[in-house]
Structure 1
């Protein structure tokens, strides 16, 4: 076997372990990775507790460095195990992996920046691929398709909500006035938004009977508004329901996943999957 073939076989095996969860080694690698991510997040949380950090600071610091170095090695292995590294580097997971590795190194320059390691929680999104939950992968695909199909309707709806908040905020400014906390129209619009989306934060509240009546109507309207985007998306989802038969195999060239079971070629770039 030539050196080129050996290198290709080695890279293929590494790619299979790191990027796929269909093999025993790949699943073991990803489960260990999840445990490491959870441990690193726990360490960051514990370090934020002053009393605990004072007592176990050295242990926490050493543990974080060990996990950071392991993540750095993993990041490098992910880059060298694919044909086009930039596909991974500039992908969603690639950027998240990089951001979750940098904070500890940055803490050598910027004090306190290591707390940004909590971004590693985003890496837990890999759990869907690791556990090979194909039906949930299919469900997420249908949801994304439904959201894309309904984005125009949702955009119109949100624009309408913004207009309503501007109008109601202006009305409340005219009714309540500066003496009741509605100092200007932007502040009044802010109050209308938080009242419609929640029940207000209590920092600004109407005092006049008419203002309280309008506030009550806005709160009730807020509950009604919640159902509208849900109905829009649900309607689109009923049009896209279909059985999705996918696996966790990732293309070694372009990193696209969610291929059909038994697929030989990548649906995105056309290169072979094995």
Structure 2
């Protein structure tokens, strides 16, 4: 009976900690996000000089309170999963660990507490609360469009590199070392900076012909920026047109997390994990 109660308690804790589809789970995630934001603000304020000494003391104590909370949260995430390694070595597991240990390390290595700013990465959990997982089908289409666009974009970048080498060589011959174009690599660097419309201004042509070439490169840069966007947009449109309503990407998914393998993005009507077959909400 005790074992059954422990399993039931672990399942309830797992639902609260890992999922955002229940009121308690959503409340837990909101509290967690607030503490993360507060913690990051504390770390930022500690780096500001000029506050009274007692302010820094309160920031330090407050950071310890939050760190202790995150420590218990990290342990709870481990014990509520049947296979702890699936969480420990996951993206969020590693981020959670890295955002918890710096303050403890500060006893050994001075200054490591500033690494607590890595907690900002944990704000990615907000996607669970906002149910962004429901739009995973759209993200799959975008991913497919980017993958299909890769050959065209690589050819395009190769063409841009050739243009940069040719234009850079011409500018080296036209301007010379007196204008800062001391070598062909430096001239190619200037061409890339100009072509991408960044324009650092560390090197600039001074001759009329060099300025004319620079103007052509700048105008060309505006056209070049639009090409990758057009390629990806065309592939994305194609991906949408090729899809139909029977495609799995249209099936609604939620934030249910498997208590065995920690897999997420399950269908709303799913009773078992799509990865390991474990029952999602065992009694």
Counterpart position of 2:42: 43
Alignment of 1:134-213 (within 5 A): 134-213=133-212
Which range moved further: 37-46 or 183-192? 183-192
Instruction: Give the 3 Å change call, closer, same or farther, for CA 247–170 of structure 1 in structure 2.
Output: same
Counterpart position of 2:273: 266
Distance in 1, Cα, partners of 2:52 & 2:101: 21
Contact kept in structure 2, 1:106 and 1:113, CA below 8 Å: yes
Unaligned ranges ≥5, structure 2: 244-249
Distance in 2, Cα, partners of 1:105 & 1:39: 19
Unaligned ranges ≥5, structure 1: none
Counterpart pick for 2:252 among 245, 263, 267:
245
Instruction: Give the 3 Å change call, closer, same or farther, for CA 178–128 of structure 1 in structure 2.
Output: same
Counterpart pick for 1:255 among 250, 257, 262:
262
Instruction: Give the 3 Å change call, closer, same or farther, for CA 183–239 of structure 1 in structure 2.
Output: same
Aligned positions, number: 273
Contact kept in structure 1, 2:82 and 2:260, CA below 8 Å: yes
Distance in 1, Cα, partners of 2:109 & 2:213: 49
Instruction: Give the 3 Å change call, closer, same or farther, for CA 224–139 of structure 1 in structure 2.
Output: same
Counterpart position of 2:246: none
CA offset at residue 53 of structure 1? 7.0
Root-mean-square deviation over aligned CA pairs: 2.4
Contact kept in structure 2, 1:107 and 1:113, CA below 8 Å: yes
SS in 1 for 2:273: coil
Contact kept in structure 1, 2:134 and 2:254, CA below 8 Å: no
Relative to the length of structure 2, the TM-score reads: 0.85
Relative to the length of structure 1, the TM-score reads: 0.88
Instruction: Give the 3 Å change call, closer, same or farther, for CA 109–175 of structure 1 in structure 2.
Output: farther
Which range moved further: 57-66 or 181-190? 181-190
Max radius of gyration: which structure? Answer: 2
Contact kept in structure 2, 1:138 and 1:246, CA below 8 Å: no
Instruction: Give the 3 Å change call, closer, same or farther, for CA 185–91 of structure 1 in structure 2.
Output: farther
SS in 1 for 2:203: coil
Alignment of 1:30-109 (within 5 A): 30-52=29-51, 56-109=55-108
